[in-house]
């Protein structure tokens, strides 16, 4: 960690112009081993909590709305998180957990790692930022489903009045390439702010971006080593293909916002300051 973590002016220009910037291999194997272990602990904890919640729902002790389906896919509200399951009928495999940082002390500390907070402060040109939300995408071998093209901003717009001032940072826990469903972003797609969603009769359709409103050929594939970070604007169109490989493609996405704002799904404000380092 000898070199400066500050965002360079070239990186900031790229972020503003293309809607994202990339830093490869920010975290090395020594960093990643405990992070991957924590990811698996979180998955086990979320699975147990989901099973327990499902049992309570079956016995009508918890509301049916805690174990529900949207467009056929299962979600469980458990362990103070939304746990999404993979799309195969009856799948017990967890796809996404949001938020997850509170489920393991390694992640509770990770959200304030200077290798994340310093460049994000550079994006905001601020010396303090707050956490907005955090999710872990597990994308298991052969089973991990894709994410259709979308912007994150519309998903938050009903509860957030500062979607223009949210910045995501993805950290890859495994080497990512097209075979294991690497992350993809569309260059410049953030420039017009909120883009129209799909009107396809599904509940989530409006959250998927209408391809007539961005240039799909401008996609950039994040074929990056484990431990890389991609910082991207909340309006940047992004997604990924399914994991068709025998390798994992796990990733964490943390979203930061201007300081002093509370989190999305938790009744708490987590500020981080450059001066606390
Ligand atoms: O992890 C991926 O491949 C896609 C993630 C994504 O689109 C999201 O978390 O909003």
Domain boundaries, the chain: 9-27+104-276
Distance 48 CA to ligand 1 centre (A): 24
Which residues have C-beta atoms less than 6 Å from ligand 1?
A: 135, 137, 147, 152, 183, 238-240, 251, 253
**Residues 6+ positions from 190 with CB-CB distance below 8 Å:** 19, 151, 232, 233, 234, 235, 236, 237
Supply the CATH classification number for the domain 9-27+104-276: 2.60.120.620
Ligand 1 pocket: which of 238, 241, 245 to mutate (most atoms within 8 A of CB): 238
- Measured by CA distance, the residue closest to atom 6 of ligand 1 is 239
Give the per-residue pLDDT at 130.
98
User: Which distant-in-sequence residues (6+ apart) come within 8 Å of 172 by Cβ?
Assistant: 183, 222, 224, 225, 226, 227, 228, 229, 230, 249, 250, 251
* Backbone dihedral region for residue 109 (phi beyond 0: left; psi -120 to 50: alpha; all else: beta): alpha
Which segments of the chain are extended strands (E)?
20-23, 67-70, 73-78, 81-85, 94-98, 128-137, 147-150, 167-172, 183-186, 219-221, 229-233, 238-240, 251-258, 271-273
Q: 221: CA distance to ligand 1 center in Å?
A: 13
What is the Å distance from ligand 1's center to 241 Cα? Answer: 10
Report which protein residue has its CA nearest ligand 1's atom 4: 239
User: How far, in Å, from the CA of 239 to the mean position of ligand 1?
Assistant: 6
117: Cβ–Cβ under 8 A, 6 or more apart, which residues?
Answer: 129, 256, 272, 274
pLDDT reported for residue 274 = 86
CA of residue 220 to ligand 1 center, whole Å:
14
Mean pLDDT by 10 residues, the chain (277 residues): 83 98 98 98 98 96 96 97 94 97 98 97 97 98 97 97 97 98 98 96 96 97 98 98 98 98 96 81
List the structure tokens of 79: 């362990």
Which atom of ligand 1 approaches the CA of 183 most closely? 3
CA of 155 to the centre of ligand 1 (A): 13
Atom of ligand 1 nearest to the CA of 181: 3
Nearest residue (CA) to ligand 1, atom 10: 152
How many angstroms does the Cα of residue 109 sit away from the middle of ligand 1?
22
Shortest-distance Cα residue to atom 1 of ligand 1? 137
Cβ-in-10-Å burial (0-12, 13-18, 19+) of 43 comes to buried
Beta-sheet pairing, 128-137 with 94-98: antiparallel
Ligand 1 mean position, distance from CA 43 (Å): 17
């Amino acid at each position: 960690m000898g070199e400066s973590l500050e965002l360079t002016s070239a990186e900031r220009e790229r972020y503003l112009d293309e809607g994202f910037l990339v830093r490869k291999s920010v975290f090395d194997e020594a960093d990643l081993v405990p992070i991957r272990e924590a990811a698996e602990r979180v998955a086990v904890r979320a699975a147990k909590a989901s099973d327990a919640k499902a049992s309570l729902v079956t016995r009508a002790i918890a509301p049916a709305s805690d174990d529900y389906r949207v467009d056929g896919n299962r979600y469980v509200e458990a362990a103070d998180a939304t746990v999404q399951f993979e799309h195969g009928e009856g799948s017990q495999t967890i796809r996404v957990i949001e938020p997850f940082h509170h489920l393991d002390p390694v992640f509770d500390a990770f959200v304030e790692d200077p290798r994340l907070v310093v460049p994000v402060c550079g994006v905001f040109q601020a010396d303090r930022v707050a956490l907005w939300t955090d999710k872990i995408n597990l994308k298991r071998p052969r089973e991990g489903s894709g994410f259709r093209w979308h912007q994150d901003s519309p998903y938050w717009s009903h509860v957030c009045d500062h979607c223009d001032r949210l910045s995501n940072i993805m950290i890859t826990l495994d080497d990512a390439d097209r075979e294991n469903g690497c992350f993809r972003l569309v260059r410049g797609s953030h420039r017009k702010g909120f883009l129209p969603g799909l009107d396809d009769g599904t509940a989530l359709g409006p959250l998927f971006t209408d391809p007539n409103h961005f240039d799909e050929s401008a996609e950039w594939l994040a074929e990056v080593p484990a431990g890389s970070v991609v910082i991207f604007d909340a309006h940047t169109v992004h997604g990924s293909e399914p994991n068709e490989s025998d390798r994992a493609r796990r990733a964490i996405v943390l979203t930061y916002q201007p300081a002093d704002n509370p989190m999305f799904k938790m009744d708490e404000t987590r500020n981080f300051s450059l001066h606390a380092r």
